[in-house]
Amino acid sequence: MKTEYNIEEILEILPHRHPFVLIDRVINLDPGKTVTALKNVNINESYFPGHFPGKPIMPGVLILESMAQAGAFLVLHDLEDPQKKGMLFSSVEKAKFRIPVVPGDQLIIKMEMINFRMGSAKIKGEAFVDDKLVTEATIMASLVDR
């Protein structure tokens, strides 16, 4: 069973495209249960000049989006034809931002399926840099037609 996916394989499943693809690789997938993905944080990201000049920090909302994309991969991967579906954020619960994420960091994103019913997913996640928890949240998303 395949457990790792490169960026080309991710793009076959997720609808996101440059400049809004926020996961670079899936390093472990347990279908329907968990996914671990990574995001390399590069100084060339378009948001760094404005967030913040002289002290670049990855916006928390983009960390949440990278977590949501990993969660979407977890859900869409199991579908017969994932190119016909997408996932839309519907809510975020218990989001906590513990440590700033800066250029050169590598986010390791771990998402766990809590519940999937009637096209709605509840997914709990954590993001780490160097084994330190930087962000955690529970995300709700809905399966929609593309």
**Catalytic residue annotation:** 51
User: By the 8 A CB rule, do 126 and 118 touch?
Assistant: no
Q: 79: domain CATH number?
A: 3.10.129.10
Is 1 domain-assigned?
Answer: no
Is 93 domain-assigned?
Answer: yes
Instruction: Give tens-digit pLDDT for 67-76.
Output: 999 999 999 9
Nearest to 71 by CA among 133, 144, 14, 145: 14
Instruction: Give tens-digit pLDDT for 115-141.
Output: 999 999 999 999 999 999 999 999 999
> 0.75 exceeded by the pTM?
yes
Is 17 domain-assigned?
Answer: yes
- For the chain, the domain total comes to 1
Supply the DSSP symbol for 52: S
In terms of residue numbers, what domain contains 16?
A: 7-145
